[in-house]
Structure 1
Amino acid sequence: MLSEQATPVIRETLPAVGGAIEEITELFYGKLFTAHPELLRDLFNRGNQANGEQKKALAGSIAAFAGVLVEHPGTRPDAMLARIAHKHASLGVTADQYKIVHTHLFAAIADVLGDAVTPPVAAAWDEVYWLMANALIALESRLYQQAGAADGEVWQEMAVTERRTETPDVVSLALRRADGRPLAVPRAGQYVSVRVELPDGARQIRQYSLTSAPDEAAWRITVKRVRDEGLPDGEVSCHLHEHAQAGDTLTVSAPFGDLVVAPGDGPLLLASAGIGVTPMLAMLKDIAVSDPTRPVTVVHADRSPADHAHREELHKLVAALPDATLHLWYEHVDGPPPAGTSAGHADIAALDIRAHTTAYLCGPLPFMRTVRGDLLRRGLPAEAVHYEVFGPDLWIAG
């Protein structure tokens, strides 16, 4: 909770800081990476730095956190904090790095806002930063404890035991611990980070959902080759596509992620698009074991049947559940759509959504915004709609 003296200062200055936050974060990252180039080389996603997404994510999270402190005293955006904490833990972020960020962020704020940063303004925003940072540090420490790891020590060597081509741009890799020890048991829907050394010596990290069931003897990740028009191809995804083979060793984190199915017997909606199908596979496998009679509506949208990774597997998983239905949409179909599918974009508004449904979303941001909006209009409360973002969280939806 903000102090009494800081609250009016933040309320008054939030529009100015919010309006300048992208300029502030641009300068902040310049200062940070000049002083600590190893952070860009070995921790931050260089692709997201190049396309500006990381800057937008930092700006959005700070502004959202400050706004909640002002508008809803005594509360905090725990869903947002949990997503960030899980991502940080999967990267091995440690408490001392928050001090480094603080130094360069506040230097950037002073440079951009100049004389407007009076001592009371600086003190108030310092309070906001440390309220957010200390909350994240506590959450991340708890996650490390749950993983049985010292703070930041989440890495293990994993042997690739199988490689399978799912589509021309998607491969699956089965993983076991290289030392032969048992795997940690993830929660269905969680992800791991994979750290690879690239030709220039950088050790870049990316997250991939586990598509295996929690109790399987091997983990399985599914990697889509990242290709964005006008931007460099994905460094890690392309490296794994070109080099990861059965018998190789990868450096992989413990499992993290908070997009996991809550226990209970209420109806579920699993909505995904593209490679966002991956956490849903693990969820369906887990539901088949833990509560196979639970009502489940599965929605998936993709470019075409040929682009739909794990298509046959998804059909089999849904067919194995007695009260599950599958709804598929494809943007491009040669000829009539396959049986049980529709052409075009997913249309949640056309589905029968049961009362008290809990929804889980994963896919591109436009897809999730549309689905979430449709669900809210259908009467689902916001707290019943959960989502996972691959990459920086550019959508602070609670």
Structure 2
Amino acid sequence: MLSTESAATIRATIPVVAEALDPITARFYDTMLGEHPELLDGMFNRGNQASGEQRRALAGSIAAFAAMLLERPDERPDALLSRIAHKHVSLGVTEDQYVIVHKYLFDAIAHTLEDAATPDVVRAWDEVYWLMAGTLIAMEARLYAGHGRTGQEVWRPWRVAERREQTPDTVSLTLEPEDDEPVPAFRPGQYVSVRMRMADGVRQARQYSLTGGEGRRRRITVKRLRAGKTPAGEVSTMLYDTVVPGDTVMVSVPAGDVALAEGGHPLVMASAGIGCTPMVAMLDRLVEKGSEREVLVLHADRSPGDHAHRDEVQSLVEALPNATSRFWYETGGDGGRGRMDLNGVRVPEGAEVYMCGPLPFMRDVRAQLLGAGVPARLVHYEVFGPDLWLGTD
């Protein structure tokens, strides 16, 4: 909870700071990574740095957290920050790195705001930062403890046991640990980070949903985003083009706060493109348990040939007694419409909804679901990459 003095200062300055967040975060990343290039090695996604998505996500999270402290001071911020904490755990973020971030963030605030960064203003925003950082550190400590590990111990070598092409640009990799340590359990819908060394020697990590797991094996599915002149897609391209059975990759502990909920209530799974991957694991778990829950599976894609796990999803749906599915394709099916249109689709009453796909798709489908009477609290979403939706959802 913010002190009374700081709350007044934040309320008075949040419009100015919010307007300056983009240049603040731009300078923050430039100076911090310039002086600490080791953070880019395996920690920060340089594709998101190049596109500016990481900067916008950080700005959005700070603004959303400050607004919450003012508008809902008695509410615990865990729900707002849970997605960030899980992402940090999948990358092995440690408590000491929050001190480094603080140093460069407040240097950027002072540089950007100039005379407006008075001692009172800096003190108030410093309080916001440490409330946010303290909450994240505590949440991440609990998540690490749940895996019996620390931030320095999240990475393990896994051997590629099988490789199977799903579509012309998508491949599933079945992995097994190279050591004899216990394999961490995962909740359907969660992901792991995979870290690869790029051609220039810099290590980069990306997150991939777990699409299955049995015994000591785990499966991920990778869609190749063809790398161009920017770093975007460099890890998926390397995994798709070069990794074969027998190779070793570094994999983190499972993470992610959007996971299949227990119970008997109905479920709706809405996805687009490679966003189908967390749904595959959820369906697989339901079949494994012999579930009789009502399940509605919805998916949009470019074409049937581009729909990863299409046959597998259909088989899983058929194995569930109360599951149905509907697919939309731009070409090769459903009249060539492509857009997921829920008109005429019966959404089960009391259903919990899981969404994954591009942000425009999820915004559109969420609006349709809310319009159909689904409560916002029952609509969950997973984002591949920085959460640019954080401040608006």
Query: TM-score when scaled to structure 1?
Result: 0.95
- Tell me how many residue pairs correspond in the alignment: 392
Between 223-232 and 18-27, the greater mean CA deviation after superposition = 223-232
Between 79-88 and 344-353, the greater mean CA deviation after superposition = 344-353
Q: Deviations over 1:165-222 (max 9, x none)?
A: 1111111100001124442221111100101111111011001000004x44410000
The CA RMSD over aligned residues, in Å, is 1.6
Q: Does structure 1 residue 321 correspond to structure 2 residue 315?
A: no
Q: Structure 2: which 5+ residue stretches go unaligned?
A: none
CA distance in structure 1 between the partners assigned to 2:343 and 2:129 by the alignment: 40
Q: Does structure 1 residue 377 correspond to structure 2 residue 376?
A: no
CA distance in structure 2 between the partners assigned to 1:9 and 1:65 by the alignment: 15
Matching of residues 147-162 of structure 1 within 5 Å: 147-162=147-162
For 2:271, the aligned partner's letter is S
Q: Which residue of 2 aligns with 1:104?
A: 104
Matching of residues 235-254 of structure 1 within 5 Å: 235-254=234-253
Residue 350 of structure 1 deviates from its aligned partner by 3.1
SS at match of 2:4: coil
For 1:34, the aligned partner's letter is G
Q: Which residue of 1 aligns with 2:385?
A: 391
CA distance in structure 1 between the partners assigned to 2:380 and 2:278 by the alignment: 13
Q: Which residue of 2 aligns with 1:293?
A: 292
Between 92-101 and 37-46, the greater mean CA deviation after superposition = 37-46
Matching of residues 38-53 of structure 1 within 5 Å: 38-53=38-53
CA contact (8 A) 1:21 1:59 kept: yes
Q: Which residue of 1 aligns with 2:268?
A: 269
Matching of residues 204-243 of structure 1 within 5 Å: 204-213=204-213, 215-227=214-226, 231-243=230-242
Are the structure 2 counterparts of residues 216 and 361 from structure 1 closer, same or farther at C-alpha, using a change threshold of 3 Å? farther
CA contact (8 A) 1:65 1:76 kept: no
For 2:97, the aligned partner's letter is Q
SS at match of 1:55: helix
SS at match of 2:193: strand
CA distance in structure 1 between the partners assigned to 2:374 and 2:239 by the alignment: 39
For 2:60, the aligned partner's letter is G
Q: Deviations over 1:312-351 (max 9, x none)?
A: 0010011111111101000122xxx27xx87321012431
CA distance in structure 1 between the partners assigned to 2:165 and 2:17 by the alignment: 47
CA distance in structure 1 between the partners assigned to 2:92 and 2:182 by the alignment: 21
CA distance in structure 1 between the partners assigned to 2:318 and 2:216 by the alignment: 24
Residue 289 of structure 1 deviates from its aligned partner by 2.6
CA distance in structure 1 between the partners assigned to 2:359 and 2:23 by the alignment: 23
CA contact (8 A) 1:225 1:237 kept: yes
CA contact (8 A) 1:226 1:237 kept: yes
Residue 79 of structure 1 deviates from its aligned partner by 2.8
Matching of residues 176-187 of structure 1 within 5 Å: 176-187=176-187
Residue 248 of structure 1 deviates from its aligned partner by 0.7
Q: Deviations over 1:127-153 (max 9, x none)?
A: 110111010000000010011112331
Q: Which residue of 1 aligns with 2:362?
A: 368
CA distance in structure 1 between the partners assigned to 2:2 and 2:343 by the alignment: 40
SS at match of 2:83: helix
CA contact (8 A) 1:170 1:224 kept: yes
Q: Which residue of 2 aligns with 1:72?
A: 72
CA distance in structure 1 between the partners assigned to 2:346 and 2:388 by the alignment: 30
Are the structure 2 counterparts of residues 55 and 233 from structure 1 closer, same or farther at C-alpha, using a change threshold of 3 Å? closer
For 1:283, the aligned partner's letter is M
Q: Structure 1: which 5+ residue stretches go unaligned?
A: none
CA distance in structure 1 between the partners assigned to 2:135 and 2:387 by the alignment: 18
Q: Which residue of 2 aligns with 1:189?
A: 189
